[in-house]
Amino acid sequence: MTRETAGNRGQTTIFMMTISNKKEKQGIETWPLFVKVPCMQCPNCGSKIPVYKNPTPTVDIIIEINGGVVLIERRNEPHGWALPGGFVDYGESYEQAAVREAHEETGLEVKLESQFHTYSDPNRDPRQHTASTVFIARAQGHPVGADDALQAGIFTRETLPPLVFDHAGIIDDYFNNRY
């Protein structure tokens, strides 16, 4: 059951949605759960449209080259070393985003080999909740930092610098063949 509350905060109307337990029909006493859902109003028909806050899709790329993996030093916060990657653009596949981000940040033309794993811990990125699909790719040449990267380099398991986000865990999973 959904019912509108009287409150209107600027452009956002708040709905109260009552979600009831199926066991209630079997005579078991339950209490309703009330969830506030912000809504927009359709400019054409006036219908109320719920707005949900969802994780933002991202990609990260483990680029294998010359016996190591490519990392970039980030130009933007949080500063530090990371896997090349970024946000998936609207209308773009995750694979297209991975190839684009790899080229933008390292100058390398990559060949995607496989999808490694998806990491979605809500705390993986201090800026917002993201869900990152990680790809393994191969490339030739020498990476050069560009776009969001100050510099790029090739690192082995033994020469890894400290990493930002959850990238140390991703690299550990990669080197230990966890997925």
CATH number for the domain that contains residue 95: 3.90.79.10
3-state helix, strand, coil in the chain (%, to 5): 15, 40, 40
Same domain, 41 and 83: no
Give the mean model confidence (pLDDT) for residues 40-68: 91
Q: Could you tell me the residue range of the domain that residue 94 belongs to?
A: 56-175
Same domain, 70 and 96: yes
Phi, psi of 94 (to 5 degrees): -65, -35
Asked if residue 87 lies in contact with residue 55, where contact means CB atoms within 8 angstroms, the answer is no
Give the mean model confidence (pLDDT) for residues 8-28: 48
**How much of the chain exceeds pLDDT 90, in percent?**
70
Same domain, 34 and 61: no
Same domain, 100 and 21: no
Question: Tell me, what DSSP letter sits at residue 84?
Answer: S
Same domain, 28 and 87: no
Residues 67-84 have pLDDT tens digits of 999 999 999 999 999 999
Band the pLDDT of 52: cuts 50, 70, 90: confident
Same domain, 123 and 39: no
What pLDDT does residue 20 have? 43
Same domain, 64 and 144: yes
Q: Tell me whether strands 111-119 and 130-138 are parallel, antiparallel or unpaired.
A: antiparallel
Residue where a domain terminates, one of 50, 69, 84: 50
Same domain, 86 and 117: yes
Same domain, 83 and 170: yes
Band the pLDDT of 6: cuts 50, 70, 90: very low
Same domain, 122 and 142: yes
What pLDDT does residue 38 have? 79
Amino acid at 21: N
User: How many domains does one find in the chain?
Assistant: 2
Same domain, 111 and 167: yes
Q: What is the pTM of this model?
A: 0.76
Band the pLDDT of 126: cuts 50, 70, 90: very high
Same domain, 13 and 75: no
What pLDDT does residue 147 have? 92
Question: Tell me, what DSSP letter sits at residue 163?
Answer: B
Of the ranges 45-59, 109-123, 160-174, which one carries the lowest mean pLDDT score?
Answer: 45-59
